[in-house]
Homo-oligomer: A and B are copies of this chain.
Amino acid sequence: MVEALTLHEDPRSGNCYKIRLTAALLGLPLATRSYDIMQGETRTTEFLSKVNPNGRIPVLQINDASGARFLPESNAACWYLAHGSALIPQERFAQADMLRWMFFEQYNHEPNVATLRFWLRFVGEARLSAEQRGQMMAKRIAGCAALDLMDRHLAEHSFFAGDAVTLADIALFAYTHVAEEGGFGLGDYPHILAWIARVQALPGFVAMD
């Protein structure tokens, strides 16, 4: 039995897009099952018990002869798909440095750049809670700091780890290329804009929508 891959996703999520982009660049077939997170579809009893007890998408489902296994966390799912491919450098330092940028993405970038996009584009500023409003300025500052760090790195490097595209680029591309939907002006970051064009020119590239 050949391994079959299904992505449990919300198509508007950059975290889900990372996995679709990784599969596309690798030429791997990937089925999808959509959920509307705004309607709580990842918090149902069935989803929590079967797909992900953390109540979040994306989750990569891997079906093979031993049954179905479920892998949450976008960057871990990309790692699974890219196993043994050129998207993961084999050299020890470059591999760890790639993971460095992927952890940076989840800690410094996503909670700021992606959350402001979610709040402003999908929730709507008028519907934000007082607590959310109180966090907007801090997230704006932290998101700009993350983009600034990326821009300075890209001033001297074509990609984030090693000399070629890796999962670090895919992870950071997902929410960076739509950062303007969260109110971040990418015109301030010329090296990021050039890098976005390099990623979009990759053979097999697929757009988010």
Contact = CB atoms under 8 A, between A and B. Distances in A.
Interface of A: 53-54, 62, 69, 71-77, 79-80, 83, 92-93, 95-97, 99-100, 102-104, 106-108, 110-111, 131, 134-135, 138, 149, 152-153
A71 to B, nearest CB: 6
A118 B92 CA distance: 33
A149 B76 contact: no
Contacts of A131: 134-135, 138
Contacts of A79: 95-96, 99
A72 to B, nearest CB: 6
Contacts of A149: 53-54
A82 to B, nearest CB: 10
Contacts of A153: 53
A108 to B, nearest CB: 7
A80 B93 contact: yes
Copies of this chain present in the complex amount to: 2
A76 B54 contact: no
Most chain B Cβ neighbours within 10 Å, of A62, A74, A79, A149? A79
14 contacts: A54-B104, A71-B97, A71-B100, A72-B100, A73-B103, A73-B104, A76-B96, A77-B100, A79-B95, A80-B92, A99-B99, A102-B103, A103-B106, A135-B135
A99 B83 contact: no
A93 B64 CA distance: 12
Contact of A111 (B62, B100, B111): B111
